[in-house]
Structure 1
Amino acid sequence: MSKVEEILLAEPRGFCAGVDRAIEIVERALAKFGAPIYVRHEIVHNTYVVNELKAKGAIFIEDLAEVPPGATLVFSAHGVSKAVQNEAKARGFEIFDATCPLVSKVHVEVAKLAREGYEFIMIGHKGHPEVEGTMGQLDHGIHLVEDVDDVAKVQPSQVDKLAVVTQTTLSVDDAAEIAAAVRARFPKVREPKQQDICYATQNRQDAVKLLSPQVDLVIVVGSPTSSNSNRLRELAQRLGTEAYMVDSATELQPAWFEGKTRVGLTAGASAPEVLVTQVIERIRALGAVSVRKMDGIEETVKFPLPKGLKLSDGPLPGHIS
């Protein structure tokens, strides 16, 4: 049996600026107001991150009725509907919005174009919290399509004012294919000036496109609920490379590595680097000698924190990263 000789690390991988900001919002709220801090939905889709924040005093809820009056509430990075925002205000919570600014940008665009009389086609996954949040910006007039077949079924009330928006964590290639089908059926459709798929999703997918042909196996670190992590695994497989997604190093199966000499490793935008390090250690135990980092884009994006959480005392002790 040949042994794993080399681990090739995708660049970039792991946390994006929106995830980093969302986690820091919860940590700073805990530091400033003390536990418990309530968070609507998992702050980001990663089991390790959620468990670490639970240990620090965060309580994750889906229904605002579970939050006591006067409590501090954080909205997750995926964004929330207008109905959830209004209910939270009505209940009188101290609210901090950890919605990723790139998701908020889509919400702002939807509100602006809706005022101009537009209807929308949204490309995204039914039931994903980001999709529910974006579609919930309006009472009606947003039609969800998950694939090319869905495009044929859309029945807008008019076709002169129709705009397309996209979930930020989709497969770039899938979204482009669906958007082409939308354009073919609705030639006047208005598209965003810059695509809605976020820079981090694009960069991680581009890195996997470079990585996959160079390795015998791709391991993606990410939780099953993470849309962008799932897309990385699918992309590697589509490119003809065996690929698996793991929530932690304990899920690695020795059988996957039989006959593989080079292993590619990446992580979704909500997976912390500590998990990547643990996966590397586990693969080293299977015989890997060298770890090489690929050349890739260095991300320098940083999003500001909401007012009221900009503590002057610098980084937090024990910040998840």
Structure 2
Amino acid sequence: MSGANQKMRVILAQPRGFCAGVERAVEIVELAIRKYGPPVYVRHEIVHNKRVVEKLRSIGARFVDELDEIPDGAITVFSAHGVAQKVADDAGLRDLPVIDATCPLVAKVHREGQRYAEQGYDVILIGHEGHPEVEGTRGRIPGGVHLVSSVDDVDRLRVRDPAKVSYITQTTLSVDDTRVIIDKLKQRFPQVAGPDVRDICYATQNRQQAVHLLAQHVGVILVVGSPNSSNSNRLREIAAEMGIPSYLIDTAEDIDPAWFTDIDAVGVTAGASAPEELVQEVLTRLGQIAPVAIENLEGVEENVRFKLPEMLWDVAGSPYGRMGRPQAREGERNTAAASAE
């Protein structure tokens, strides 16, 4: 800070934190435990956030890497990232009672890829190797996909017919980086079919746009999110690419007061899998470092809602659970997202 008695401005991005797919996935696990009793087994982390996973574990969720770690007959939840068809088939062969918490927008990408494959297209998946969503999407498309993570990967592609090429994308990518890759695909394959950047989910796009705006008003940006959260990492990278020092923090304890030397305004945002309570803890920690004045940046108001699996409607009290039914004033992008279910 530039003055000993001057308050440090803390500007909050809007929107930030939980998206509709994460809200839905977390509520699915909570409702499953309430309805069937613990333990409920979840294949992979339900979402990529340590606090969320620890809270669910404390009420009876057990997180496993593979189905063979799940006892016969145990309630099984697939994470928000989706699973390969073989995983779903293996669960069926074991007659495991499955509740699918795959984000509806991820499932929409699966359907797009399947449709292209059925029409004889080579399918290119723009995404990051090893991410659970990418592994799930790859395993849902007959004949497999070509995984592309960079412009250089496009140059190395070998396809059956350059006139029959399509692409889909991971939902949590950088919009700007993905657009560059898509432009390269269009240069190499002029007839390529694909959704432009529409596969990147509404929440990812909204949060990235908010960081672009936030970076114009602050000297440093804190992104609340776990290190394994793809969308949180993209937010930090976007701020850094704009020349703003930016830090990905799992909790308020990760904050280093030295980051704010000669800084008058701090920006705070959160990835789509980070709960608001973590943001509030960050604000408390900042207030311990220096007096703060908290401001909210204007941004997109999200109103997306996804239905819960029907088997949980009774315990949830409604198809939409605690999020409630979407309002009629929904914007075009939000309406499109909600229709994915």
How many Å separate the matches in 1 of 2:68 and 2:144? 28
Matching of residue 286 in structure 1 with residue 289 in structure 2? yes
User: Structure 1 residue 139: deviation in Å?
Assistant: 4.5
| Correspondent of 1:66 among 69, 81, 85 | 69
| Correspondent of 2:228 among 219, 225, 230 | 225
| Residue of structure 2 equivalent to 1:181 | 184
Secondary structure at the residue paired with 1:311? helix
How many Å separate the matches in 2 of 1:306 and 1:294? 35
How many Å separate the matches in 2 of 1:172 and 1:72? 37
Deviations 1:288-310 (A, max 9, x none): 32100011111000000001011
How many Å separate the matches in 2 of 1:288 and 1:18? 36
How many Å separate the matches in 2 of 1:173 and 1:186? 20
Q: Which runs of 5+ in 2 are unaligned?
A: 324-341
| Residue of structure 2 equivalent to 1:2 | 2
User: Structure 1 residue 71: deviation in Å?
Assistant: 0.7
How many Å separate the matches in 2 of 1:289 and 1:225? 30
Secondary structure at the residue paired with 1:278? helix
Pair 234,313 (structure 1): closer, same or farther in 2 beyond 3 Å: closer
Worse overlay, 278-287 or 107-116 = 107-116
Retained in 2: the 8 A contact 1:7–1:288?
Answer: no
Matching of residue 21 in structure 1 with residue 46 in structure 2? no
User: Structure 1 residue 205: deviation in Å?
Assistant: 0.3
How many Å separate the matches in 1 of 2:237 and 2:33? 37
Letter in 2 for 1:177: V
Letter in 2 for 1:29: A
Letter in 2 for 1:183: K
| Residue of structure 1 equivalent to 2:208 | 205
* Structure 1 segment 142-221 matched on structure 2, within 5 A: 142-192=145-195, 195-221=198-224
Worse overlay, 7-16 or 158-167 = 158-167
Deviations 1:73-122 (A, max 9, x none): 00000001011110111111110110000000010111122111111111
Secondary structure at the residue paired with 2:314? coil
Secondary structure at the residue paired with 1:291? strand
How many Å separate the matches in 2 of 1:313 and 1:77? 18
Letter in 2 for 1:92: D
How many Å separate the matches in 1 of 2:288 and 2:317? 38
Structure with greater contact order relative to length (CA < 8 Å, sep ≥ 6): 1
| Correspondent of 2:112 among 105, 109, 118 | 109
Retained in 1: the 8 A contact 2:110–2:141?
Answer: no
| Correspondent of 1:122 among 115, 125, 136 | 125
Deviations 1:41-97 (A, max 9, x none): 100000000000000100001110000011110000000101111011111111011
User: Structure 1 residue 138: deviation in Å?
Assistant: 2.6
User: Structure 1 residue 314: deviation in Å?
Assistant: 4.1
Superposition RMSD on alpha carbons, in Å? 1.5
Q: Which runs of 5+ in 1 are unaligned?
A: none
How many Å separate the matches in 2 of 1:103 and 1:289? 39
| Correspondent of 1:274 among 270, 273, 277 | 277
| Residue of structure 1 equivalent to 2:101 | 98
* Structure 1 segment 10-89 matched on structure 2, within 5 A: 10-89=13-92
How many Å separate the matches in 1 of 2:197 and 2:315? 34
Letter in 1 for 2:253: T
Secondary structure at the residue paired with 1:74? strand
Secondary structure at the residue paired with 1:79? coil
Retained in 2: the 8 A contact 1:18–1:101?
Answer: yes
User: What is the TM-score when the length of structure 1 is the normalising length?
Assistant: 0.96
How many Å separate the matches in 1 of 2:182 and 2:248? 27
Letter in 1 for 2:40: I
Letter in 1 for 2:314: L
Letter in 2 for 1:206: Q
Q: Percent identity?
A: 52
The number of residues matched between the two structures is 317
User: What is the TM-score when the length of structure 2 is the normalising length?
Assistant: 0.90
Matching of residue 306 in structure 1 with residue 304 in structure 2? no
Retained in 2: the 8 A contact 1:106–1:165?
Answer: yes
User: Structure 1 residue 140: deviation in Å?
Assistant: 2.6
